[in-house]
Structure 1
């Protein structure tokens, strides 16, 4: 599996395909058409690879960054950037992933453009609805994942406990041990 899905919604998991944004060398998880295809299948959005091209990767990254700009504006309490709104709305107006009933149940397919339209629609619903108040950025300084905090009391700190949460807790433990030995 090439991708992780800790954020609570696919559009935020999609935003998280650029890891460690503030680092000098962020990790691009959509660097090739194959990785984009993998994301759609691994996310469960599509049952078959959409057959991404290099041009599709560029369009997907452009949409991802527009959604990220909107998320950051919501987190910071700033007005939504008009260019990002236009980009997301343009994609949201497209046809969503095709859903068909097959002999074994539901089959979801389509080209990359339909996957991006579905993601953009989800972003519109999230950013324009009540769930926008649940947006949080991971508290681990190196991580820039944004997630929905649906925890009781809304005190979740990390995108995922098994990764970032464990790293922060282990680092704090080591720091305490080091301080006691000094």
Structure 2
């Protein structure tokens, strides 16, 4: 599977939760090393530079990610939040976040992996307590478990992203139709 980070969910906390892909089937972990975790923080634009991390940073990020995912799916199902997941998220959100600095070149966000994780946790708190909760949707691809914010007109969006899931589903549906429809012009 592709190790490129994908940002299609419309919110950093949702993209973070989506770093364990295909949860219902093959389960593909994006945070396999401290370097891959730090690459995510950089690629999502949360930080400009980040200090090297270690395995403990990866374990903490995975724990917070799973708490975020549980809380998001509880919101989708209109169920009460899982108390353990709440405790994990809130503990992470209480830590020191990324602090922007002003430099001669402009704003610069330098952080440790722990500060980056605290910032993601704060984003999750804002999302799950904010006005976008009714816009949360799970991708229509049964293999995908990404949750995204649907800002489309009429909330008609079905996929986390066309490139990641929409095209695959549409192509599969097209192939299925071609197989079952009678051949045109056949005698």
For Structure 1 versus Structure 2, the TM-score category normalised by the shorter chain is over 0.9
RMSD: 1.2
For the 8 Å contact 1:41–1:49, the answer to whether it is kept is yes
User: How many corresponding residue pairs?
Assistant: 181
Residue number in structure 2 paired with 1:116: 117
Residue number in structure 2 paired with 1:171: 172
CA-to-partner distance for each residue in 1:136-175, whole Å, 9 max, x for gaps?
1100011111111111111110000122110111011101
For the 8 Å contact 1:98–1:110, the answer to whether it is kept is yes
For the 8 Å contact 1:20–1:143, the answer to whether it is kept is yes
Residue number in structure 2 paired with 1:12: 14
Listed as ranges, the matches of 1:102-181 within 5 Å are 102-181=103-182
Secondary structure of 2:100's counterpart equals: strand
CA-to-partner distance for each residue in 1:87-126, whole Å, 9 max, x for gaps?
1111111111021111221110111111111111111111
For 1:32 and 1:116, the matched residues in 2 are separated by 15
Higher Rg of the two aligned structures: 2
Unaligned runs of 5+ in 1: none
Question: How does the TM-score come out when normalised to structure 1?
Answer: 0.96
Question: How does the TM-score come out when normalised to structure 2?
Answer: 0.93
Residue range with higher mean Cα deviation, 4-13 or 100-109:
100-109
Unaligned runs of 5+ in 2: none
- Matching of residue 29 in structure 1 with residue 4 in structure 2: no
Which contiguous aligned blocks of 4+ residues in structure 1 show a shift greater than 4 angstroms?
none
For 2:165 and 2:140, the matched residues in 1 are separated by 8
